[in-house]
Amino acid sequence: MNVTILLLTLLVGAIATYLSGKKPAAKVALFFGLVAFVETIALICQHNAGTDAGYMTQWIANPNIHIALKADGLALALTLLTTALTPIIIFSSFGDHIEKSNTFYALVMFMCFAMTGTFLAADGFLYYIFWELSLLPIYFLALLWGNDTFEIRKNVIFKFFIYTFAGSLFMLLGFIYLYTKTGSFLLHDLYNAQLSSTEEYWVFLAFFLAYAIKIPIFPFHTWQASTYEKAPTVGTMLLAGIMLKMGLYSIIRWQLPITPSAAKEIMPTVIILALIGVVYGSIVALKQANIKRFFAYSSLAHVGLIAAGAYTLTLDGLKGAVLQMIAHGFVIVGLFYVGEIIYKRYQTRMIGEMGGIRQQAPKFASAFMILMFASIGLPGTFSFIGEFNLLFGLSQVNIWYAIVGGTTIIFGAFYMLRMFQKAMLGETNTIVFADLTTRESAILGILAIAIIFLGIYPKPIADLITPSLVEIVSYIK
Amino acid sequence: MDTNVILLLLLVPLIGSLVNIFFGKKLGNGSGIIATIAVLISFIVTVIAFVQVNSTKVAIQGDLFEWIAVDRFTISFGFLLDQLSLLWLLFVTGIGTLIHLYSTSYMKGDENYAKFFGYLNLFIFFMIVLVAGSNLLITFIGWEGVGLCSYLLIGFWHKNQDYNDAAKKAFIMNRIGDLGFLIGVFILAFLFQSLDYMTIKEALATGTNHQINTWIGFAALAIFIGAVGKSAQIPLYTWLPDAMAGPTPVSALIHAATMVTAGIFLITRLNFVFDLAPLVQNTIAIVGAFTSLFAASIGLVQNDIKKVLAYSTVSQLGLMFMAIGFGAYEIAVFHVITHAFFKACLFLGSGSVIHAMGGEQDMRRMGGLDKYMKVTYITFLIATAAISGFPFLSGFFSKDEILMVAFENNKFLYIVGSIASIMTAFYMFRLVFLTFKKGFRGSQEQKNHLHESPLSMTLPLIILAFFSIVGGAINLPGSNWLNHYLQPIIVKSTGKAHELGTEAYILMALATAGFLIGLGWAFYKYIKNSEVPQEDEKITGFHKVLYNKYYIDEIYMVIFVKPIYVIATFFRDFVEVALSGTVLGLGKIADELSLQGKKAQNGNIGLYLFAFVFGICILFYYLFIAR
Amino acid sequence: MENVIEIIGIEKYIYLSIILFCIGVLGILYRRNAIVMFMCIEIMLNSANMLLVAFSTFHQDAEGQVFVFFTMAVAAAEVAVGLAILVTIYRNIGSIDIDKLKNLKG
C-alpha cells in the first residue's frame, strides 16, 4: 500500500460528494474523510514497520517532471494532521443549513486532497501544483459561503487570493531557476544542487516570500484576520488548522535543506521578524472585539514562534516546530469551533456581547477552558511539548530569542484569560445558553483528549518525525 | 514496588478529582467524602514511604516512561521520593486532608460543591507532581498545574468579576515567574545536558569549570524569578492578597500552607546550584528581608481579616527567603513547616469566623466573638501566639533560627527581619483583639447568626493548633532532627546546628522582647484604649498610603498594564492599517499603471499602425544596421 | 531556356519589391479608407510573393513558389473574411473610414 491510494481516496471522495446530491453530501464527505484517516493510520503503522510508502514515476519527460510522493515520518505526521482534522471539521458542520451543500463539501474534500498532496509531494513541480490547487477551494468556500455581504467579503477574499498567489509565484520562479541548475525538480536532486551563495540567497528569498505570506510571518499577515473573519467557520478551520502548516512545513521540507548556507546567514533576521510577530500578534489580540479576529491574532503569535523555531536550524527547534504545528492545528480548530458554538446560540461574534455563559453551560465552559489552557501551553497539554522544544531550540541560538519568544507564555495567558473572562464569566447571561449537544461534546471531547493524551505521551508523534528531521538537519549542516 | 508507590500516590487524588468533576452532581454530599478519602490515602502512602526512606536512607524513585526527547538527552516522566520531597508531601497531604475535611462543612450548600472538591483534589495531584518530580520539567508540570488550580479556585465564584480579575492576575503574575523558571531550565539543560536533579547534583559534585560558573549564576537568577512569582515576593507579590477572593479553605491550603512554598521547595531542591551563585544568594536574602518588612507594614493597617493573613503570609515567606539567601535551607524548610501549621490554622479559623458572620470579612464589624466561638478563639489564639513568636511555640523556634542566621551573616538584614517580626506580633494580636475581644460591632442580624462551627471544621483547627504548639519539636535547638534528616539533600549548609551558647540565649531573649513589644502595642491600642480602625474615608496621611498598599497595584497598572493596552490600540488602529495599506497600495499602484497604460489604447487604428511600422523600423535598425 | 534572372538581375527584383512594399506601408499609414488599406496590404503581400518567386528561380529551388501558393490562398481567405467584416461595418455605421472605428479603445 502506498500513499497514492490515500490521495485517490480523497479525490474520489471529492467527486463522489459532488455527485451525491445535497442531502447525503455531508455524510459522504465524512465517510471518505474517515476512510482517509484510517488509511493514514495504516500507512503510519506500515511506515513504523519499515516499509516505504512512497511512490515515484515519470510524469513528463521534458521538462523532467516526476510524480514523486515521499512518505517519510515528517510528511506522514502532517498528513495525519490533515486527515484527522478534516473529518472533525466536516462533522462540526453537521446540521448546519448550507446552500448547495454538495459543492461545499466537495470543495472541502478537494482542499484536503490538495493539502495532503502538498505534504507528500517530493517533486518541486508537483508540489507547486498541489500548493496552488489548495488555494482554489478555499477561495470559493470563503467567497460563496462566507459571512457578511458578498461585496465586502469579495474584496477581502480577493485580496487574500491575490496576495498568497503572488507570493507563490516567486516560489515558482525559484523552482524554475533551480531546474535550470539541476535539470530536475526532484526533492533529492534539489537538496544536492550546487548553488553559489548569491544564488542561494535569492532562491531563499523567493521561497521566503511565498511562505511568509502563507504562514503568515509579520509583516505579511494583513490578509489573515479579515479572511478568517469573513470565511465560513469550516473554511477558517481549514485555513488555520491545516493550511498555515503548509508554509511552515515547506520551510522545513524545501527551503532550509535547499538553501542551507543562505538560511544560516539570514537566520537572525527572519527569527527576529518571527518573534516580532509573536509579541505583536499577542498585543494586537488584546484589543480585538471579534472572536474570530482574536483567534486569528493569537494564531499569528503562535505560528510566529513556530517559524522562529524552524529557522533556528537546530533539531530541537525543528522538532518543536513540527510538534507545535500539530498541536496548534488541534487547538485552533477547537477554538474556532467554540466560537461557532457561541455564534449559533447568541448570533454574535463580538466578545463584548457575550459573558455569563459558564454558569449556564458548565460542560461547554470546561471544554473551552481545556482548549484555552492548551493554547497558552500549559504543561500536560500537547502545546507545551512543542513550545518547550521550540524555546529550547531558540535558547541554543541565543538566550534572548528564548526570552522574547517566551513572553508568549505571559502574553498568551494575558489575552486568553482576558477573553475568557469577558466571554464566559460574570453574572449569568439573561439569554439562555444551551449546553453542548452530543455532537458538540463528541467533537470537543475528541480534541481535548487528543491534546491531553499527546501532552502526556508525545512519544508516538515525536518518534515518527525525528528520523526525517535528523536527515534534514544533516542536509543543513 | 517503587513505581507502584508513586503511581498510587499520584493517581488516587487524580481519580478523586476526575470523579468529582465528571460525576460530582450525582454524588451529592458524597463527593466531599470521596475527595477527603483520596487525600487521606495519599497521606497514608506518604507516611509509609516516609518511614521506609527514613530508615533505609534510600530514596524511592521510578521513571514511568520517556516523556520528551530533545537532541542530546531525554526527559523522563520520573519521580523521586527522597527526604525533601517526602517531608513536603507529608504536610501537603496531611494539611490537605484536614482542609478537605474542613471544606466538607464550609462549602456545604454551594451549587458547585463537587466541582470544588474536584479542583482541590486536582491541586493535591499537581502539588504531588511538583514535589515528587525527579527532574525540573516534571516539577514544572506541577508548578503550572498548581497555578491552574489556583486560578480555578480563586475564581471559583465566577459570577463576581472582581474575583475573576483576581484569578486572572494570579495566573498572569505567576506566568511571569514561570518564564524565568523556563529560562533557568534552558540554561541548566544547556550546561548539563540533563534536567535530572540527581544528574545535575553529581555533575556539580565532580567539579565545575569556569564557563559553568558564569552561566550558573544566570540559571539561579532565572529560577529565583520563578520562585518570586510563585512565592509572592517583591515585585510579584501583589497577586497573593487578591487571591483571597477564593473560598477560605483554598486560601488556607493553596495560598498559605502549600503552593506558595513551592518557590522555597525549588530553591532547596537546587541548593547545589544556588551555592555556586553567591550574588544571587545575596539578592534572595535582600529581596526576602524587604518583602518581609514591606508586607508586614501593609498588614499593620488592613481591616479585612483575610487580607491581614495574606500579607502576613507574604511577610513570612520573605523571612524564609532570607534564610535561603544565607544558605540556611534547613531553617527555611523548618519555617515552612511550622508556618504551614499555624497559618493553615489561622486561615481556617478566619474561615470559621467568616462562616459565623455570614460572609463578613471586615474586622471593624466583628468583635467579641470569643464568647460565641470558644474553640475557634482558642485555636486562633494559639496559632497567633505561634506566628508572633511566643516563647517555645513552633514559630518561636523557626523564626528565631532565621534571625540567628541573619545575625551571623548580615546585621542590617537581622534588624529588618526583627522589625518585621515585631510588626507581625502587633498586627496578629490586633487581628485577635479586634475580632474576638470587646463588644460585637456587627448588625443584629449577624449577631443572631453567630455560632460555633461544626466538629468537621473545629477538629482540623484543634489538630493544627496542637501542631502549632509542638511543631517546633522537629528542630529543637540541641536535637536538630530536621537538620540531620535533610543532610543528604543539602550539599553545603551554613545553617548548621546552633550551639546553645550565650549569643543564642541573648538573641532568643531579644526575639521574645520583640514579641512582647508587638503584643503590648496591640494590647494598648485595642484593649486598653478600645480603638476601632477608622472607616475608609477618614484615613489620611501615611496611614492611607499603607492602607492602600503603597499604591503598588495602581503603579503597576499605570506602568505596565495601561501602556500595553495603549500599544495594543495603537497597533490595531495604526500599524495594522498601515501594513494593510501598504499591501493594498501595491495593488493600487498596479491599478494606476494600467489606468495610465490604457490611454495609449485609444482605438485609433492609424496610430496603432503607425506605432507598428515605427516599431518594426526600429527593430530592423537595431537588427541589421546598427550591428 | 535562358534564366530570367540572368537577363534582368536579382537586385532589380529586390528594388522593385522594396518599392512596392514601401508603397503599401505608406498607403496603410496615410489612407483612411479601409478598402484602400486592404489593397495596400495586398500590395505588401504581393511584393513579398514576388521576392519569393524571384529567389526561388535564383536558387533553382521550387520551395519558394510553393510558399507563394500558400500565401495567395491565405490572402484570398483573408480578403473574403475582411471584406465581409467591412460590409458589416458599413451596414452598421454607414462608413468605412477607420477613424470612426474607435469602439475598441481601452
Distance between CA B260 and CA B240 in Å, rounded?
A: 9
**Does B497 score more than 80 pLDDT?**
no
Rounded CA separation A46/B572 (Å): 49
Strands B60-69 and A55-60: unpaired
Q: Is the pLDDT of residue B500 over 70?
A: no
**What pLDDT is stored for residue B423 in this prediction?**
93
Q: What is the pLDDT of residue A249?
A: 95
DSSP B437: S
Chains that touch B (3 or more CB pairs under 8 A): A, C
Residues in chain B within 8 Å Cβ distance of A385: 68
pLDDT recorded at residue B25: 81
Q: B68 vs A414: CB contact, 8 Å cut-off? A: no
* B82 backbone dihedrals φ, ψ, rounded to 5°: -115, -170
Q: pLDDT tens across B142-160, in order?
A: 999 999 999 999 999 988 8
pLDDT at C87: 92
Burial class of residue A199 in the structure, from the number of CB atoms within 10 Å of its CB (0-12 exposed, 13-18 middle, 19+ buried): middle
Report the DSSP beta bridge partners of residue B80: B61
Summarize the confidence of residues B462-476 as an average pLDDT: 89
Choose from A382, A395, A415, A436 for mutation: most chain B CBs within 10 A.
A395
With contacts defined as CB-CB under 8 Å, which chain B residues touch A366? Answer: 21
CA-wise closest residue to B148 among B179, B163, B127? B127
**Closest CA–CA distance from residue B553 to any residue of chain A (Å):** 17
The model's pLDDT over B349-369, given as tens digits with 9 standing for 90+, comes to 999 998 888 888 888 888 888
pLDDT of residue C2: 61
Report yes or no: A165 at the B interface, CB cutoff 8 Å. no
Q: Are B576 and A462 an interchain contact pair (Cβ–Cβ within 8 Å)?
A: no
Q: Nearest-CA neighbor of A106 among A27, A190, A18?
A: A18
Q: B69, A380: Cβ pair inside 8 Å?
A: no
Which of the 8 DSSP states describes residue A350?
B
What digits encode the pLDDT tens for the residues B290-340? 999 999 999 988 889 999 999 999 999 999 999 999 988 989 999 999 999
| B603:C28 CB<8 A | no
How many CB atoms lie under 10 A from the CB of residue B401?
Answer: 27
Check whether B462 has a pLDDT greater than 90. Answer: yes
CA distance A92 to chain B (A): 23
Q: Is B158 within 8 Å of A359 when comparing Cβ atoms? A: yes
A414 neighbourhood in chain B, CB within 8 Å: 172, 564
Residue numbers of chain A with a pLDDT score lower than 70: none
Name residues 442-471 of chain B within 8 A of A (Cβ): none
Q: Which residues of B touch C101 (CB under 8 A)?
A: 603, 605
Contacts of B601 in chain C (CB under 8 A): 104-106
pLDDT of residue B1: 62
* Strand spans (E) along B34-130: 60-69, 74-81
**What domain count does chain A have?**
1
Query: Of how many residues is chain B composed?
Result: 627
Closest CA to B67 of B141, B14, B6, B143: B141
Q: What is the pTM of this model?
A: 0.90
**Cβ proximity of B2 and B61 under 8 Å:** yes
Q: Which residue of C has its CA nearest to B600?
A: C106
- Distance, CA of B517 to CA of B34 (rounded, Å): 47
pLDDT of residue A211: 94
Has residue C42 got a pLDDT over 80? yes
Closest to C105 (Cβ–Cβ): which among B602, B606, B609?
A: B602
Residue A329 lies in a domain: yes
Alpha-carbon gap: A269 to the closest alpha carbon of chain B (Å): 19
Residue B190 distance to chain A (closest CA, Å):
7
Q: Quick one: DSSP state of residue B58? A: -
Q: Is the pLDDT of residue B495 over 60?
A: no
Q: What is the mean pLDDT of residues B512-524?
A: 90
Asked if the C-beta of B590 comes within 8 angstroms of chain A's C-beta atoms, the answer is: no
Helix, strand, coil shares of chain A, percent, nearest 5, are: 75, 5, 20
* Contact: B159, A286; criterion CB under 8 Å: no
Task: Please check whether residue A359 lies inside any domain of the structure.
Answer: yes
Q: Which residues contact A236 (CB under 8 A, 6 or more apart)?
A: A228, A292, A336
A89 within a domain of the structure (yes/no): no
Is residue C1's pLDDT more than 60? Answer: no
Cα separation of B544 and A458, whole Å? Answer: 54
Q: Are B335 and B316 in contact (CB under 8 A)?
A: yes
The full DSSP string for B139-206 is HHHHHHHHHHHHHHHHTSSTT-HHHHHHHHHHHHHHHHHHHHHHHHHHHHHHHHS--BHHHHHHHHHT
Nearest residue of A to residue B580, measured between CA atoms: A222
- The answer, for B617 touching chain C at a CB cutoff of 8 Å, is no
CB-based contacts of B570, cutoff 8 Å, min separation 6: none
The phi and psi torsions of B135 (rounded to 5 degrees) equal -140, 170
Interface of B with A in 206-265 (CB under 8 A): 218
Nearest to C106 among B601, B606, B613 (CB): B601
DSSP structural state of residue A186: B
β-sheet bridge partners, residue B81: B60
Domain that holds residue A276: 266-477
Counting every residue, how long is chain A? 477
B16 CA: distance to closest CA in chain A (Å): 17
Query: For chain C, which domains are there?
Result: 4-97 (1.10.287.3510)
Q: In terms of residues, how long is chain C?
A: 106
pLDDT at A295: 94
Residues A157 and A174: their CA atoms lie apart, in Å, by 26
| Cβ partners under 8 Å of residue B52, min gap 6 | B60
| Nearest chain A CA: its distance from B373 CA (Å) | 34
Residue B370's CB is within 10 A of a number of other CB atoms, namely 17
* Under 8 Å between Cβ of B444 and B436: no
Interface of C with B (CB under 8 A): 25, 28-29, 32, 98-99, 101-106
Residue B498, pLDDT above cutoff 80:
no
Q: Do chains B and A touch (3 or more CB pairs under 8 A)?
A: yes
Residue type, A364: F
Cα(A431)–Cα(B308) distance, integer angstroms = 40
Of A362-366, B160-164, B496-500, where does mean pLDDT reach its minimum? B496-500
> DSSP readout, B525-569?
IIIIS---PPPGGG--HHHHHHHTGGGHHHHHIIIIIHHHHHHHH
Residue among C21, C25, C30 with most chain B CBs within 10 A, to mutate: C25
- Would you state the pLDDT for residue B453? 86
A-chain residues near B216 (CB < 8 A): none
The tens digit of pLDDT for each residue in B537-570 reads 777 778 888 888 888 888 898 999 899 999 999 9
Q: Do B602 and C103 touch (CB under 8 A)?
A: no
Q: Which of A236-240, B249-253, B532-536 has the lowest mean pLDDT?
A: B532-536
| Residues with Cβ within 8 Å of residue A404, at least 6 apart in sequence | A275, A278, A279
B494 vs A175, higher pLDDT: A175
The H or E element spanning position B575 is: none
Per-residue pLDDT band for B4 (boundaries 50, 70, 90) equals confident
pLDDT of residue B451: 84
Cα distance between residue B424 and residue B299, in whole Å: 8
Domain locations along chain B: 1-134, 135-547, 556-625
pLDDT at C88 over 70: yes
Contact between chain B and chain C (3 or more Cβ pairs less than 8 Å apart): yes
Q: Which of B141, B189, B565 sits opposite A379 (nearest CB)?
A: B141
Q: Is B540 on the interface with C (CB under 8 A)?
A: no
Per-residue confidence at C30, pLDDT binned at 50, 70, 90?
Answer: confident
B210: number of Cβ within 10 Å: 7
Mutate to test the interface with A, among B571, B574, B575, B577 (most CBs of A within 10 A): B571
| 3-state class (DSSP) for residue B293 | helix
Q: How many other β-carbons are positioned within 10 Å of the β-carbon of residue B441?
A: 16
Residue B143: how many CB atoms within 10 A of its CB?
Answer: 31
Question: pLDDT by residue (tens digit) across B404-452?
Answer: 889 888 889 999 999 999 999 999 999 999 888 888 888 888 888 888 8
Residue A365 lies in a domain: yes
- Beta carbons of B613 and C105 less than 8 Å apart: no
Q: Which amino acid makes up residue A282?
A: S
pLDDT (tens digit per residue) in B51-99? 999 888 888 888 888 998 888 889 999 999 999 999 999 999 999 999 9
β-pair type (B74-81, A55-60)? unpaired
Over residues A22-63, the pLDDT tens digits come to 888 999 999 999 999 999 999 999 999 988 888 899 998 888
Amino acid at B419: I
| Confidence tier at B234 by pLDDT (50, 70, 90) | confident
- A344 and A395 in contact (C-beta within 8 Å)? no
Q: Which residues lie below 8 Å from residue B610, measured CB to CB, with a gap of 6+?
A: C29
CA distance B73 to B333: 32
